[in-house]
Structure 1
Amino acid sequence: MLAIAVGVIAGQRLANSSESVTKIPAPLQDEKVATSHSETAVFAGGCFWGTQGVFEHVRGVTQVTSGYTGGAASTAHYDNVEDGDTGHAESIRITYDPTQITYGRLLQVFFSVAHNPTELNHQGPDRGTQYRSAVFPVNPEQRTLARAYIAQLDTAHVFSAPVVTTVEDFKGFYPAESYHQNFLALHPDNPYIAINDLPKVSNLKQIFPDLYRNDPVLLKTTAS
């Protein structure tokens, strides 16, 4: 990912800039009426620069953190995760107000504009299990909703290929290094971002105008 970020490798497939985006139906099942104003969702869908950047522009989201999910705390570091054998996926932790946006609507954004759910262990130019498509429910209700929505999308043949997104046990979330946080917002001219990720934000604005906000909510970080 970092090697690609400094320049576009000739002949390598760069997704999302030219791929069509599928507008998908909202989930038939969604979480119950909220009584709190803060809930958490954890998704993995390729490089976390792009997924974080998309959800920072979603109304009702109060914070998005890039990080690692699926492996042990001792290996939750970029240099380890990029070897592809830690069990971790590059992921994002979304804190949201369920009175403003539901878990189901977050899933709808995730499956439509944030990544391609028909690609399992790669997104765009990135390859490896660390870039897998996965949902990490933090409670039983989220697990039920995620599985139901995947089944709904497959039954309706929304995509030209089956949804391969896995629903995995949540074993903890480990924030990534500070230089990865808010990467899209801070480096919009980076070739990787411009080609792979800014189109996702544009698609969010076009497909979900009711959810889009122009000014992203950025994670407050300290220098590493």
Structure 2
Amino acid sequence: MKLVIFDVDGTLVDSQAHIIASMEAAFAAGDLPVPGRDTILSIVGLSLPLAMRHLAPEAEEVRLEQMIEAYKAAFQEHRLAQGPAASPLYPGAEEMIRRLGARDDLYLAIATGKSRRGLTALMAGWDFADLFISAQSADDHPSKPHPSMVQTCLIDAGVEASDAVVIGDTSYDMEMARAARCHGIGVSWGYHGRAALLTAGARVVLDRFEALETALDEIWKG
């Protein structure tokens, strides 16, 4: 059996507007200037405390905690107000997940920097969520690029690292895959871009979901 491990934000769902709005609320709560859009998106994939520390290195711990709580509250408020529209699936994502999930030679899993609450709420809106045999979040593991989330997915699936592929849009995903001794496939529609993904170790960078199955078969054939 093979294992395909998906990142979420920037890979399966387009949550950039949701993330930016929540980060703006966090920095307002901390009375600090809001970083630019590209700077905010550059930390997507990291756990929230680590991401906030990267964005506000000058903030003392008490203020940082206030900002983290403000981010969580804003994120929850936007999610409740907008529903699935807050983090819509990218074109082709659902179709590809269903296609891969129908195969009898592989398993699907998730490794995300989202909180457990955020991941659970998101997956509650997916009627294909039961296709994932493991769903790991930042609440239960060290932040990416630490390999813990991937290693847990491997254990849950009973699959060797050489038979697993991480699909993601950030250098953190590719570095996590490399740290876990798995293959990495990047996607160009997310937040870090082709050059960063290739530098971080992506075997290939895809421009559309429809190309994923062929890319997987090529890696395992090789």
Structure 1 length as normaliser, TM-score? 0.29
Structure ranking higher in helix proportion: 2
Structure 2 length as normaliser, TM-score? 0.29
